[in-house]
Amino acid sequence: MLSTTGINAFVGINGSTANAMGLSLNGVDFGLALLSDSADSSRSWISMQANVATAIALGIPEVTLTGSAISVEINLTGSDGTLIDYAVETLTVGSISLGVGAEEGEMLRVKGDLNLRLRLLPD
């Protein structure tokens, strides 16, 4: 398991420079669980939840992209097609509580507030 709380992150190229191009994330809380069956190591699952206070795209001409209160949830099926049901028993990884129910199926869910502005150029 891996977790972080309240970090800032950058995904892209030339981070921390005037030429940065990518996505700047602030206030990131992250929990990742890589789980396996102790009786059958061929069975494994991946679950993750991340919360991001704010996000902003940098260095992309003609595009303004900002986001806030973003949440990402991932619950992937194991090699045998089963899911961990966190609605039955929540797993806490650092400050993150994984709570996705198996009845929702395998998932990748992203929620939050997003603002996108494109400056369209004339023909």
From first to last of its 123 residues, the chain has per-residue pLDDT tens of 899 999 999 999 999 899 999 999 999 999 999 999 999 988 999 999 999 999 999 999 889 999 999 999 999 999 889 999 998 988 999 899 998 888 889 999 999 999 999 987 765
pTM of the full structure: 0.83
Does residue 25 lie in a domain region? yes
Does residue 123 lie in a domain region? no
What's the domain count of the chain?
1
Does residue 29 lie in a domain region? yes
Task: Count Cβ atoms below 10 Å from residue 85 Cβ, excluding itself.
Answer: 13
Residue 39 has a pLDDT of: 93
| Contacts (Cβ under 8 Å, ≥6 apart) of 59 | 12, 14, 19, 20, 21, 22
| Contacts (Cβ under 8 Å, ≥6 apart) of 95 | 3, 5, 29, 31
Which domain does 113 fall in, by range? 2-118
Residue 123 has a pLDDT of: 59
